[in-house]
A and B are shown apart, each in its own frame.
Chain A
Amino acid sequence: MAYVALSDRGQVISHPHSWITKYVWSQDHKVIAIQYGITAIAVGVLALVLSAMMRLQLGFPDTLSIISPSEYYQYVTMHGMIMVIYLLTALFLGGFGNYLIPLMVGARDMVFPYMNMLSYWVYLVSVIILVASFFVPGGPTGAGWTLYPPQAIMHGTPGADWGIILMLVSLAVFIVAFTMGGLNYVTTVLQARTRGMTMIRLPLSVWGIFTATILGLLAFPALLVSAIMMTLDRLLGTSFFMPAIVSMGEQTSYDGGSPILFQHLFWFFGHPEVYIVALPAFGLVSDLLSTHARKNIFGYRMMVWAIVIIGALSFVVWAHHMYVSGMNPYFGFFFATTTLIIAVPTAIKVYNWVLTLWHGNIHLTVPMLFAIGFIFTFVHGGLTGIFLGNVVVDLPLSDTYFVVGHFHMVMGVSPILVVFGAIYHWYPKMTGRMFNSAMGKWHFWLTFLGTYAIYLPMHYLGFLGVPRRYFAYEGIDFIPESAMALNTQITVAALFVAVVQILFFVNIIWSMFKGPKADPNPWGATTLEWQTAETPPIHGNWGPELPGVYRWAYDYSVPGAEKDFIPQNQPPAPGEKVVI
């Protein structure tokens, strides 16, 4: 029983006592998770402020002139990059992955705790490098989050001197950090599951995070390779991506490089990245819906297979981001087909979430509200994705606000709603205290309705043909006055939603000190993390013995059972009929 020996190293784990080893240089996965979470959310708030600056410019172009065109592009770039990579990827995998994997699989910690700690500190370095680019001459890069060459490293693009180099270095450092964390998450799921915890008994949260981590481990190298090659182009004058080009009236020394090659490499990372963010959200929301509807998840196996199939397919759809790059039309046909195919397992997941709610005993708690909100925004963003997946529809809509509306709905708002829902859901376990429910509900409704007020009109702007990435729209004949009024309305809604997030921060900080003591298992959930002896769980998670697992994670409202949930570690009662 080798796995017991390695997963139950109770004696080996030394419990740190000083404040520094306990909270700063900690190797405890729960502390590292919270460090990841706080850093990611802090840098996310920065990105939120940047978006507010952009919206002020777009909504009131004449009355308020706070930022210059260069700054606008820099803010667009940094907003996108931070939100996708430094917030969402880090928060879902470094944050929730770290916190939930060992607890949910019944392990005492990650299998390589030291490397796990290193992962966080290297991630922090990457964030510091990223933020440092605001303070260098020329400021951060304004190349757009896709960093397309040649313009990304040409003079005339904001931040072409220092900003772009810091950006590429920061990404490379982030990838190193992610790889160290990712090796931990994958190996822990493979090796450290407790007795009885088979793969097919894992909660869907773990399935989502596990699969997303594998995607990240295989896809981030594409970003690493392209970042290295672009750095060489920029610093040493190679021509991997840079074609012969005239800049500011002078012939540059570049010759013959292929910007399209960069696009292929970038999107080979970039599309799986969408699912690196989405799959953990899918997993977490499944557990939220099932728990708060007091009903087993509908089609558990189908949900697992869908996660795996989406993960595999996500590697063969990347060029649907490149329909307008002038590629072979047959390629476009191929990638449109794979894009529509990937919609099938995704749709299965949506049906199953809805069918989980059907005839459930729905408790409209704060986490549940966010989970149901996610279904709305995800269906919305997913459907517009089917529009854009078709070449003929994408061509006219590409580079309009329709695309902005689409991807913010599907991979901005939807994952963030899950983040909020999941934070509220696991908050009692993480802190041992209960948050203020009323404030949480206000937070949900204002955020949910507010984001619709932001992003629904953007689709309409896109149909009008309003191009994205523009600093100002004066003197463009085909854009009617009403579109400008709509832009102002979007800005008002965006600022409102940004300010509303204060409710969230006030709630979680205030409740951490003043909230009522939480029950160890306030939602009546079945998964292992709710069955720990202490709340919050101590270092090492479990008592002298690891929990054994006797059933799947979704035994809710089992007929004849004493309570409306049966924890995974509850042995079958003598004489209990085993359903076969």
Chain B
Amino acid sequence: MEAILVFIFIAVGFAGWWLWHEKILDKPWTTEGTETDLRESIGTILPTRRTGLAVFLAVVTSVFALLVSAYFTRMELNDWHPVQEPGLLWFNTVLLILASVSIHWCSRSDKINTVKLMLLATGGFTVFFIIGQFMAWQQLVIEGYYLQSNPANAFFYLFTGLHGIHLLGGLWVWFGAMLRVFTGVEIEQAKISVQLCRTYWHFLLVIWMVIFALLLST
């Protein structure tokens, strides 16, 4: 359970830091009448949707940290036979990096054509990544690494499957951003959507890197 505990300690540390900045040591009964809002003075005002996404990312981190914890615990038992990871995963990793780069480019660009192109590219790379992951599954099945036959295989499918589901969820938001960008309505909303997608794609890239490194090293 080390992985999840490390995450919890980080979360608690962050909470402590934040609460300290929110002046949790102040005596509220002595500050009657003052109207200063602490969020202004320390500049932590974020758009609401970004805060919501940040909280959601903490939840997703918790899911994967727990899976990693379970992975380590289960690995110690003696029936564990490591998976020979297909080389295709390296190619998929490059695709996901490209998706991350293009969404980053998209969010930084002011030219509407670049935005459109990069947004399309993000979706394309992501869809290809997911297809690639499917093909990796098929290769494993052909090589005889069935879900049932070993816990290492089962964890492989579980990790990649859950990661893929989270990407599919991201594509849902991406689709909304596409609609807004290509129809040209609610351009402010579209900007926020693209920024949210950027954060989410980078996050899922990091998660994938961690999972991939873990799978390769064990």
List the interface of chain A (C-beta within 8 A of B): 1-3, 6, 111-112, 179, 182-184, 186-187, 190-192, 195-196, 198-201, 214, 217-219, 221-222, 224-225, 228-229, 232, 236-240, 253, 255-258, 261, 264-265, 268, 296, 300-301, 304-305, 308, 312, 315-316, 548, 550-552, 554-555, 571-572, 576, 578-580
Contact = CB atoms under 8 A, between A and B. Distances in A.
B179 interface: no
B59 A218 contact: yes
Given A308-B15, A550-B32, A316 B5 contact: yes
Given A229-B158, A550-B33, A572-B33, A268 B55 contact: no
Contacts of B120: none
Nearest to A199: B22
B52 A195 contact: no
A217 B59 CA distance: 6
A112 B151 contact: no
24 contacts: A6-B47, A187-B52, A195-B35, A196-B35, A218-B59, A222-B4, A225-B70, A228-B162, A236-B147, A238-B147, A238-B148, A239-B148, A255-B79, A265-B69, A301-B27, A316-B5, A551-B33, A552-B31, A555-B29, A572-B32, A572-B33, A576-B33, A578-B32, A579-B32
A480 B186 CA distance: 76
Contacts of A182: 55, 59
Interface string B20-59: 0011111111111111011110000111100110011011
A183 B56 contact: yes
Contact of A201 (B28, B39, B45, B55): B28
B142 interface: no
Given A316-B8, A552-B29, 12 more contacts: A184-B52, A186-B55, A192-B48, A218-B58, A239-B148, A239-B154, A255-B79, A258-B77, A261-B74, A268-B1, A315-B8, A550-B33
B63 interface: yes
Given A258-B73, A261-B70, A187 B151 contact: no
Contacts of A554: 29
B158 A232 contact: yes
A189 to B, nearest CB: 10
A325 B37 CA distance: 51
B26 A200 contact: yes
B1 to A, nearest CB: 6
B78 interface: yes
4 closest A-B pairs by beta carbon, nearest first, are A256-B79, A552-B28, A572-B33, A238-B154
A198 B70 contact: no
Interface in B50-104: 51-52, 55-56, 58-59, 62-63, 66-67, 69-70, 73-74, 77-79
B112 interface: no
A221 B151 contact: no
Contacts of B34: 196, 550
A199 B148 CA distance: 50
Given A183-B52, A191-B48, A256-B151, A225 B37 contact: no
- Chain B contact-residue range equals 35 or more
Contact of B51 (A191, A200, A305): A191
A265 B66 contact: yes
Contacts of B8: 218, 315-316
A451 to B, nearest CB: 34
B12 interface: yes
A8 to B, nearest CB: 13
A227 B6 CA distance: 23
A224 to B, nearest CB: 7
Contact of A268 (B30, B66, B78, B148): B66
A217 B55 CA distance: 9
B154 A232 contact: yes
Contact of B22 (A198, A219, A255, A265): A198
A304 B8 CA distance: 20
B47 to A, nearest CB: 8
Contacts of A550: 32-35
The residue among A200, A219, A257 with the most chain B CB atoms within 10 A of its own CB is A200
Contacts of B52: 111-112, 183-184, 187
The residue among A186, A195, A253, A572 with the most chain B CB atoms within 10 A of its own CB is A186
B11 interface: yes
Nearest to B78: A256
B168 interface: no
B32 A265 contact: no
A222 B35 contact: no
Contacts of A312: 12, 15
B70 A183 contact: no
B29 A222 contact: no
A161 B70 CA distance: 26
Nearest to B7: A218
B70 A229 contact: yes
